[in-house]
């Protein structure tokens, strides 16, 4: 191992290595995985001069701390948190120089859930099927970080382009998810789908990288038979027998046997990744023109 | 054939039977290999559907797709794999009872069938294999096991599956194999990719163990 490496001082509740994941292998049962708040991952990489696919660290609620063995440029994005270098305040959302041997710490998320730590050169653990991402559903990629782990870093590329102010959306006070109805909206009663537009849900404490679980009124089904397994997409709103919608996130299963009432567009999923348990949640069902005509 | 939009970039093609789904999947792969299919990120077959995800022009593809001639799958098309099995699973007697045969008959019936991987799911490299006659369908176990060992050969509904690694599971276990179902360092990582033809062989009937078939043979 080269001396470009990082020691994990405090892994926090759940910190994983993430990149752009493993799309294109769903037919083999391989989840796409990858950073849950993709724009935050991309921004962190841009701030330190990394390519978009360089691996970052994704922390969950409680932050993390690492010690670099050599001087390294780092940047923290996503959920806002206190950033310190050897205890001294450092900027969030901007490139920071971390001296050799210094501890870079991310405090607990002040708002939101997931912070992203990019380091120049990227986390360089061995890729699995073209990606370094930790997939919590199937166990592919590196295990979640543990205290004392040592992670190799890659060689930094060109110095980052200067960026003075970078816009970052605040984590939502209310999560609003648009949802294009289908493919199995006809498995639910028209009244249930109409009510979905006005019902108030909340983000469940059981939400994770696999799916954003919700609490709220159950969605009544129009038919009770079993759906043969079918392919699932990112953002699918799957409704298990308890009737509470689950929005599929990056580590979602590739096939499933519960009906999908609609699909949340990818652009809305970064906000879903940052919604803390208890956040009020509203779905905005969109009916496609073809669907409207058919009804 | 029914084509359902899935979000903004995907289509779910629903077919009357699993064989129709296999045939459409094979046709999609043929067109992809020939370069006549527009770019699609994922082609995911399942029980009676094929999902096309990451499609540039879903409406255009949805309009063209029903006009394609889709030939039925050829019996000898696709990769072929033989999987040696010790038929010693803990649910062998239960399966024999469901089938109304003696326990010793399960191996003969199972190893006599020609299987094909209909689709993957549940875990990387876990294939759902069809090929047993309809009368041999079995229910899942009433209670799931917390740990099914790697290489377990199992039945549920119309499907046969082989656990690529140890995991919880509710399928009926009829045997075990040493074949490596999943190896991310290998290309392809999955031994049982959709469309692959599969034969199970009874290791206890294999009198000449030195010439056991290789796990993966090219179709001639």
Q: Is the pLDDT of residue A244 over 60?
A: yes
d(CA A150, CA A146): 9
CB contact under 8 A, A231 and B45: yes
* Mean pLDDT calculated for residue range B194-217: 71
CB contact under 8 A, A255 and B190: no
- Check residue B14 and give its pLDDT: 98
Option in B6, B9, B44 nearest A26 (CB): B44
Q: Which residues of chain B does A229 touch, with a Cβ-Cβ cutoff of 8 Å?
A: 46-47, 119, 121, 128
> Cα separations (Å) of A152 from A70, A75, A145, A285?
11, 17, 13, 45
Option in A29, A184, A264 nearest B124 (CB): A29
Residue A102 Cα, gap to closest chain B Cα (Å) = 36
> For the segment A48-101, what is each residue's pLDDT rounded down to a tens digit?
999 999 999 999 999 999 999 999 999 999 999 999 999 999 999 999 999 999
Nearest CA in chain A to B25: A27
* Tokens encoding B152: 């377990």
- Check residue A166 and give its pLDDT: 72
Interface test with A, best of B12, B16, B124 (most A CBs within 10 A): B124
Nearest CA in chain A to B11: A183
The alpha carbon of A99 is separated from its chain's Cα centroid by a whole number of angstroms, namely: 29
- Check residue A2 and give its pLDDT: 56
Q: Does B119 touch chain A (CB under 8 A)?
A: yes
- Check residue B75 and give its pLDDT: 76
Count how many residues are written for chain A.
Answer: 295
* Mean pLDDT calculated for residue range B22-41: 95
Q: Which residues of chain B does A235 touch, with a Cβ-Cβ cutoff of 8 Å?
A: 7
- Check residue A285 and give its pLDDT: 94
CB contact under 8 A, B10 and A235: no
- Check residue A1 and give its pLDDT: 44
Of residues B78 and A209, which shows the higher confidence score? A209
> For the segment A1-41, what is each residue's pLDDT rounded down to a tens digit?
457 999 999 999 999 999 999 999 999 999 999 999 999 99
Q: Does B47 touch chain A (CB under 8 A)?
A: yes
> For the segment A259-287, what is each residue's pLDDT rounded down to a tens digit?
999 999 999 999 999 999 999 999 999 98
User: CA angle B78-B167-A252, nearest 5°?
Assistant: 70
Option in B5, B51, B193 nearest A28 (CB): B193
Q: Is the pLDDT of residue B11 over 90?
A: yes
Nearest CA in chain A to B6: A183
- B135-154 as b/e: b if 16+ CB within 10 A: ebebeebeeebeebebbbbb
* Tokens encoding A15: 């910190």
CB contact under 8 A, B122 and A253: yes
Of residues A209 and A167, which shows the higher confidence score? A209
Give residue ranges of A with CB < 8 Å to any B CB. 23-30, 128-129, 138, 140, 180, 182-184, 228-233, 235-236, 253-256, 260, 263-265, 288, 290-291
Residue B53 Cα, gap to closest chain A Cα (Å) = 7
Kindly report the backbone phi and psi dihedral angles of residue A75, in degrees, each rounded to the nearest multiple of 5, phi listed first: -150, 145
Option in A28, A180, A183 nearest B12 (CB): A183
Q: Which helix (H) or strand (E) holds A272?
A: helix A269-273
Q: Which residues of chain B does A128 touch, with a Cβ-Cβ cutoff of 8 Å?
A: 184
* DSSP codes of every residue in A137-199: TT--SSPPP-TT-EEEBPPP-SPPPP-S----PPPPSSEEEEEEE-SSGGGB-HHHHHHHTT-
User: CA angle B106-B109-B113, nearest 5°?
Assistant: 140
* Mean pLDDT calculated for residue range B187-209: 87
Nearest CA in chain A to B187: A129
Q: Which helix (H) or strand (E) holds A8?
A: strand A5-10
- Check residue A294 and give its pLDDT: 44
Q: Does B3 touch chain A (CB under 8 A)?
A: no
- Check residue B211 and give its pLDDT: 45
Contact (CB, 8 A) for B176 and B203:
no
CB contact under 8 A, B119 and A255: yes
> For the segment B40-97, what is each residue's pLDDT rounded down to a tens digit?
999 999 999 999 999 999 999 999 999 999 998 777 778 899 999 999 999 999 999 9
Q: Which residues of chain A does B48 touch, with a Cβ-Cβ cutoff of 8 Å?
A: 228, 230
* Mean pLDDT calculated for residue range B9-38: 95
Residue A229's beta-bridge partner residues? none
The mean pLDDT value of chain A amounts to 93
Q: Is the pLDDT of residue B218 over 50?
A: no
Option in A231, A263, A265 nearest B44 (CB): A231
Nearest CA in chain A to B123: A29
CB contact under 8 A, B45 and A27: yes
Q: Does B42 touch chain A (CB under 8 A)?
A: yes
Which ranges constitute the DSSP H helices of B65-188? 92-99, 103-111
Task: Please compute, for residue A80, the number of CA atoms within 13 A of its CA located in the half-sphere on the CB side.
Answer: 9
Q: Which residues of chain A does B126 touch, with a Cβ-Cβ cutoff of 8 Å?
A: 29
* Residue closest to A180 by CA, chosen among B57, B39, B4: B4
Write down the number of H helices and E strands in chain B: 4, 14
Q: Which residues of chain B does A140 touch, with a Cβ-Cβ cutoff of 8 Å?
A: 124, 184
Contact (CB, 8 A) for A47 and A91:
no
Q: Which residues of chain A does B46 touch, with a Cβ-Cβ cutoff of 8 Å?
A: 228-231, 255
- Check residue A288 and give its pLDDT: 66
Q: Does B168 touch chain A (CB under 8 A)?
A: no
Q: Which residues of chain A does B10 touch, with a Cβ-Cβ cutoff of 8 Å?
A: 233, 263
- Check residue A49 and give its pLDDT: 93
The alpha carbons of chain A give a radius of gyration, in whole angstroms, of 20
Banded model confidence at residue A172, pLDDT cuts 50, 70, 90: confident
Query: CB neighbours of A122 closer than 8 A, spacing ≥ 6?
Result: A19, A45, A50, A51, A54, A55, A56, A153, A154
**pTM higher than the cut 0.90:** yes
- Check residue A9 and give its pLDDT: 98
Q: Does B1 touch chain A (CB under 8 A)?
A: no
DSSP letter at A229 equals: P
Banded model confidence at residue A165, pLDDT cuts 50, 70, 90: low
């Amino acid at each position: 191992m080269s001396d470009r490496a990082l020691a994990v001082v405090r892994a926090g509740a759940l910190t994983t290595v993430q990149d752009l994941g493993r799309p294109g292998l769903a037919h083999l049962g391989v989840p796409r995985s990858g950073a849950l708040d993709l724009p935050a991952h991309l921004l962190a990489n841009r701030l330190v001069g990394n390519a978009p696919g360089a691996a970052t660290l994704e922390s969950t609620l409680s932050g993390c701390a690492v010690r670099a063995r050599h001087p390294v440029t780092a940047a923290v994005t996503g959920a806002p948190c206190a950033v310190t270098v050897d205890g001294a305040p450092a900027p969030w959302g901007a490139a920071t120089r971390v001296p050799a041997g210094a501890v870079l710490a991310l405090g607990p998320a002040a708002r939101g859930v997931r912070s992203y730590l990019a380091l120049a050169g990227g986390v360089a653990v061995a890729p699995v099927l073209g990606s370094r991402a930790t997939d919590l559903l199937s166990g592919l990629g590196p295990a979640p970080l543990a205290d004392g782990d040592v992670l190799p870093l890659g060689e930094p590329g060109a110095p980052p382009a200067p960026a003075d102010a970078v816009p970052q959306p605040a984590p939502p006070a209310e999560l609003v998810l648009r949802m294009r109805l289908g493919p199995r909206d006809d498995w639910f009663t028209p009244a249930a789908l109409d009510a979905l537009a006005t019902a108030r849900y909340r983000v469940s404490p059981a939400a994770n990288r696999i799916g954003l679980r919700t609490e709220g009124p159950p969605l009544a089904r129009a038919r009770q038979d079993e759906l043969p397994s079918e392919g699932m997409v990112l953002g699918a709103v799957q409704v298990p027998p308890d009737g509470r919608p689950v929005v599929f996130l990056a580590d979602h299963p590739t096939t499933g046997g519960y009906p999908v009432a609609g699909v949340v567009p990818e652009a809305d999923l970064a906000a879903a990744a940052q919604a803390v348990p208890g956040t009020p949640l509203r779905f905005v069902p969109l009916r496609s023109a073809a669907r409207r005509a058919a009804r | 054939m029914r084509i359902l939009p899935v979000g903004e970039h995907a289509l779910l093609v629903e077919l009357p039977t699993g064989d129709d789904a296999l045939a459409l999947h094979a046709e999609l792969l043929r067109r992809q290999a020939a370069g006549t299919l527009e770019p699609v990120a994922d082609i995911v077959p399942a029980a009676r559907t094929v999902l096309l995800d990451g499609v540039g022009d879903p409406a255009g593809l949805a309009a063209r797709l029903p006009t394609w001639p889709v030939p039925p799958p050829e019996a000898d098309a696709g990769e072929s794999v033989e999987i040696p099995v010790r038929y010693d699973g803990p649910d062998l007697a239960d399966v024999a009872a469901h089938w109304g045969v003696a326990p010793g008959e399960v191996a003969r019936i199972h190893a006599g069938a020609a299987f094909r991987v209909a689709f993957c799911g549940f875990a990387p490299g876990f294939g759902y294999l069809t090929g047993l006659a309809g009368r041999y369908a079995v229910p899942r176990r009433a209670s799931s096991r917390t740990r099914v060992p790697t290489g377990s050969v199992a039945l549920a509904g119309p499907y046969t599956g082989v656990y690529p690694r140890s995991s919880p599971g509710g399928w009926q276990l009829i045997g075990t194999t040493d074949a490596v179902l999943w190896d991310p360092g290998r290309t392809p990582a999955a031994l049982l990719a959709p469309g692959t033809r599969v034969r199970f062989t009874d290791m206890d009937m294999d009198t000449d163990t030195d010439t056991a078939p290789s796990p993966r043979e090219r179709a001639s």
